[in-house]
Structure 1
Amino acid sequence: MTQASPTAAVLIIGDEILSGRTADTNLNTLARFVTALGIDLKEARTVGDVPAQITDALNTLRAAHDYVFTTGGIGPTHDDITADCVAQAFGVPLPEHPDALAILARRYGDDFNAARRRMARIPEGGTLIANPVTDAPGFQIGNVFVMAGVPRIMTAMLEDVAPRLRTGAVVHSRTLRVTGVGEGAIAETLGAAAKAQRELSFGSYPFGAGSDGEIGTNLVVRGRDAVLVEAAVVSLSDALRERGVSATLQP
């Protein structure tokens, strides 16, 4: 029996995201990262710097999924409370980690003050996630990976995270681009294809009303069996052609 692919969730933490001051890009990066490893991203949440919200969301997500990735709230300021909340969620102390302490002491030297020392606090039982950009580490505890909110730092941390994950079968995706008609013109055909191939995913992503006046939709077929995906795309294209709708397979 084929083992089910792992599932994952993302927890984005920070008042600056909810206020609109900062635009989040980490979710997209993480979605692409886990998809490439055959891990199904099933859920994403964004919470502010409120301890109860963080701990409640974390406990819910880690119980429901194989992996949880958090971003944000592990810096040196008073509102960086993610480590505190993770420790509370797991019911463990939050001591200074000797390796984290050494990394930060080397990084900052004489400027290693009390605020920066906060970043050495790691929930008991946690292991460090390397940060090749600014050195201040993230950490893993159980199935939870706690990373920085700054996109380039978070992305760099994924290099150390990847080897720790159980991978699954990669999802294959093909796209048919339909132009000149809206979604309503192809909805019935697309629905019939989805009903006939329930093991695959069929999606419609419209575009149009641009300066060139072009309208249309991208029809995306996804699945873990590449042969089935290819066959479904051919069948869908043929069905559209029979209705007088042309579709172009995208590279």
Structure 2
Amino acid sequence: MTDHPAPTAAVLIIGDEILSGRTQDVNLNAIARFLTPLGIDLMEARTVGDRQDQIVAALNALRSAHDHVFTTGGIGPTHDDITADAVGAAFGVAVSEHPEALAILERRYGPGEFTAARRRMARIPEGGSLIANPVTDAPGFQIGNVFVMAGVPRIMEAMLQDVAPRLAAGAVVHSRAIRVVGVGESAIADVLRAAAEGRPDLSFGSYPFGFGGDQTVGTQLVIRGRDSRKVDAAEHDLSQELRSLGIDIAVT
């Protein structure tokens, strides 16, 4: 989509509760929306359970392939919160109580409330730096190009505010959408293919909507690229081509 490769990112979602269907993940969408205005391309996402060997294997694959890796889940106080240990194993470093994390948690909990379980949340792989948690104080952490965050969506999104300044950002991706009404995507597949082949530096997507009943059937076409002038020109030319075929459109 550009002559200058953008920074890339991946997400590793951790937790048996996600794989079992008991909990629906929304963090992937939040991270994708967070990265878009930073010009960072989210290229891959994986979900693994609370098993250290799976976490280590996935994390090592992702961190070697992408500029940034975000993990969510598994840093709480219970026995199945094993992400810190798995990240330590992936990096080949010990995991121990981080003095600053310990101090944060000691301030958070009153006398008699700072239990052994809560103390586990101060364990950070050696060499890691803390990620602030303005919701419950229990910090996440960064080690290398890996950002380890909570699985609770509200907490994870709050942590992203401390993560943003640390990221290598790229040029912002611009997008234009063309809403084609009353026409399915198969009817405009050839037109869209020709547009994409004519502008290989841009991304062209097709997303059908409205199925069955009295719903309006149509297709949403999305053009994305880092040069806004090229995106605008592509939108103009594709709109003109569709109109010449007698197709009703709306540009958004």
The one-character-per-residue Cα deviations of 1:156-187 (angstroms, maximum 9, x if unpaired) are 00010000011100000000000111111110
TM-score, normalization by structure 1:
0.98
Distance in 1, matches of 2:138 and 2:214, equals: 48
* Partners of 1:101 and 1:120 within 8 A in 2: yes
Larger RCO, structure (CA 8 Å, separation 6 or more): 2
RMSD between aligned residues: 1.2
Q: Answer yes or no: is 1:17 the counterpart of 2:14.
A: no
Any idea what SS the aligned residue of 2:124 has?
A: coil
Inter-partner Cα distance in structure 2 for 1:216 and 1:233: 17
CA displacement at 1:212 relative to structure 2: 3.1
62-71 or 207-216, which deviates more: 207-216
Residue 211 of structure 1 and its aligned partner are, at CA, apart by 4.8
Distance (Å, rounded) in 2 between the aligned partners of 1:4 and 1:219: 24
Q: Deviations over 1:55-98 (max 9, x none)?
A: 00000000000000000000000000000000000000101000
Q: Which residue of 2 aligns with 1:242?
A: 244
The code of the aligned residue for 2:11 comes to: V
Mark the runs of 5 or more structure 2 residues left unpaired by the alignment.
none
Q: Report if aligned partners of 1:73, 1:148 keep a CA contact under 8 Å in 2.
A: yes
Alignment check: 8 A CA contact 1:5 1:38 kept: yes
Instruction: State the partner residue of 1:105.
Output: 106
Q: Give the match's secondary structure for 2:147.
A: strand
Partner of 1:115: 117
Q: Tell me, which stretches of 5 or more residues in structure 1 are unaligned?
A: none
Q: Is the 8 A contact 1:8 1:41 kept in 2?
A: yes
Query: Which residue identity does 1:11 align to in structure 2?
Result: L
CA distance, structure 2, for counterparts of residue 122 and residue 34 of structure 1 = 25
Q: Percent identity?
A: 71
Match of 2:110, SS state, is helix
Does structure 2 retain, via aligned residues, the 8 Å contact 1:237–1:246? no
Shift of 1:210: 5.4
Aligned length: 250
Structure 1 counterpart of 2:9: 8
Whole-angstrom distance in 1 between the partners of 2:185 and 2:4: 36
User: Quick one: which of 209, 212, 220 aligns to 2:211?
Assistant: 209
The one-letter code of the counterpart of 1:71 is T
TM-score (norm 2): 0.97
Q: Structure 2 CA distance, aligned partners of 1:249 and 1:41?
A: 26
SS across alignment from 2:96: coil
